[in-house]
Amino acid sequence: MRYRMRMPATRSIFDILGPVMIGPSSSHTAGAVRLGLLARAILGAQPERATITLHGSFAKTGRGHGTDLAIVAGLLGMRPDDHEITRAFEHAAERGMQFTIVEGDLGDVHANTALLELSVDDSTVEIQGSSVGGGEVLVTRIGRFEAYADGRMPLLIVEHNDLPGEIAAVTRIISGSGANIAQMRVSRTRKGADALMLIETDTALPEAALAEIEALPGVLRIRAVPAV
Amino acid sequence: MAHTTFAELLEAAAEHGSIAAAALAQEVLESGDDAAAVRSRMAGHLTVMREAVALGLTGTVHSRSGLVGGDAARISDASGGPLEGVAARAIAAAVAVAEVNASMGRVVAAPTGGASGVLPGVVLTLATDRDLDDSAVIDALLAAGAIGAVIAARTNLSGAAAGCQAEIGAAAAMAAGAATEMLGGTPAHAGHAASLALQGLLGLVCDPVGGLVEVPCVARNATGAAVALTGIELALAGVRFAIPFDQVAEALASVGRTLPVSLRETALGGLAVTAAARELVGD
């Protein structure tokens, strides 16, 4: 899959004047922090171990741009304007997050792409994403599934069996909770096998709705990912 | 959505009294925040810009690679140059912010990290020189954002998409237009200033040595600020540029599309492949 340079409509003049960021590069530094931050939000915890594979321009010029520090800082929950980003490696040691940074070829993907293998409590998730410009990011793979998550809105990720009626059941609970679905995507490994729903909502879903979705037959696990 | 053409922005400015007021009204409409909240958010940006100028001027910041740092103080301490006075101070401030950015300090992307020095260098320095208060500077920053949005409606503001003209070029147009209005020019004057600045940077390539936001990026914040100052000088003198800003921005986008990929942030052309550059990065 090849990503074309997006030209989103400028929603705000703060998209032009901003973000407030630790330099030097909105794509290689600020975007890299947000990629780490979004991956941490998807994992739902601070990773205990992280293997970070830098691809393309991230691999080539990442060190000079602090991409390595930036992704680690994001995994630690730092924001793109946090002065402590430059000390991210020390913070990781203090807070018990082991990490390895390697360079690798992830194939025909955006030039600024990283693969993050994150482990916590004996489970490991692979999250792949790209920094697509101006500090904006896109997670394109979560585990075995294709994804499309930019961290701009609250996101619900539902892993489930690919059964008829599953999507309707989930959206019914969401609409019943009063939340509005802004965007929804569905992907599956193959027909009838495991599938993934990615549901962006205007507001975060209430706990009760999340519990109800989690209890649906066929739902394997859910992740409620806040906006980053 | 922010105004996507300068013609629209001029119409809104006629209604609201200035580009800044039109930009504020549009932002209020779009964000749902009230005017005070939008201005307060921009005041936060102004604080970050001031801190970056001050830190850079201390001369103590250096990039991780060691390629850049310390020049802002050098410019600021010098005397007897042809631009001595407010122009030299604006250039020093622009370099100060760019050096802070290159050394992993905190800046406001304007419109990018690599071009973050031009706008504060020009607008903050001119405001100090004319004893203007923060409210006038915040107005100028709002206007700058609206001018940048007009360019962003036609091309992605990144060196990778359209070369340095979309970073330093856009920053110079934003600074020139915004500062012209801040110094008493009309919205039409601001448009000419933005066009006059941008025409001087059309076609500027993105050719970073080693792929880093250092050489020539820090120096380009200095030359970008100088071009913006020239645009302001000419526009306030009544010079009109024959091509309207919308069409200059269109030309930028069109030139950007035809720039070879080697000159769009890939470090495969321009200064990045000179003998000295190869030596600096140990190729």
CA-nearest residue to A66 within chain B is B104
- The confidence score (pLDDT) of residue A206 equals 96
A61 chain-B contacts, CB cut-off 8 A:
210-212, 267
CATH class of A20-143: alpha beta
In which band, very low, low, confident or very high, does the pLDDT at A1 lie, cut at 50, 70 and 90?
very low
Q: Do B156 and A133 touch (CB under 8 A)?
A: yes
> Would A20-143 and A155-225 be classified into the same CATH topology?
no
Mean pLDDT of chain B: 96
Range B84-107 average pLDDT: 98
Side chain identity at residue A177, one-letter code: S
pLDDT in the model for residue A134: 79
Residue that wins the pLDDT comparison between A22 and A10: A22
Mutate to test the interface with A, among B6, B95, B112 (most CBs of A within 10 A): B112
Q: How far apart are CA B199 and CA A190, in angstroms?
A: 54
Distance from CA of B82 to the nearest CA of A (A): 30
Beta bridge mates, A133: A136
**Which residues in chain B have their CB less than 8 angstroms from residue A63's CB?**
64
| Pairing outcome for strands A49-55 and A98-103 | parallel
Residue B225 to chain A, least CA–CA distance (Å): 17
Distance from CA of A81 to the nearest CA of B (A): 6
- Please state the rounded mean pLDDT for residues B10-20: 98
Rounded mean pLDDT of A141-169?
93
Q: Cα separation of B246 and A166, whole Å?
A: 50
Please give the Cα distance from A125 to A120 (Å, whole number).
Answer: 9
pLDDT band at B20 (very low <50, low <70, confident <90, very high): very high
> What residue segments make up the domains of chain A, in order of their start?
20-143, 155-225
Alpha-carbon radius of gyration of chain B: 18
The predicted model gives A175-199 an average pLDDT of 90
Backbone angles phi, psi at A113, to 5 degrees: -125, 145
Q: At what angle do helices A56-65 and A67-75 cross, to 10 degrees?
A: 90
Residue A44 binned pLDDT confidence (cut-offs 50, 70, 90) = very high
Instruction: Place A6 in a pLDDT band, splitting at 50, 70 and 90.
Output: very low
Nearest CB among A6, A23, A65 relative to B107 is that of: A23
pLDDT tens digits for range A89-132: 999 999 999 999 999 999 999 989 999 999 999 899 999 999 98
Which of A9, A22, A27 comes nearest B106 by C-beta? A22
pLDDT of residue A9: 56
User: Would the pLDDT of A11 be above 80?
Assistant: no
Which among A12, A16, A33, A136 is the top mutation candidate for probing chain B, defined by the most B β-carbons within 10 Å of its own β-carbon? A16
B153/chain A closest Cα distance in angstroms: 7
**What pLDDT, on the 0 to 100 scale, is given for residue B161?**
87
pLDDT band with cut points at 50, 70 and 90 for residue A10: low
Block residue for tokens 């000159």: B263
Architecture per CATH, domain A155-225, reads as: 2-Layer Sandwich (3.30)
Which candidate from B23, B102, B174 shows the least CB-CB separation from A24?
B102
Query: Which of the pair, A189 or A161, is modelled with greater confidence?
Result: A161
Does ipTM exceed 0.90? yes
Q: Give the nearest partner residue to A21 out of B26, B107, B267, using CB atoms.
A: B107
Question: Is residue A19 less than 8 Å (CB to CB) from chain B?
Answer: yes
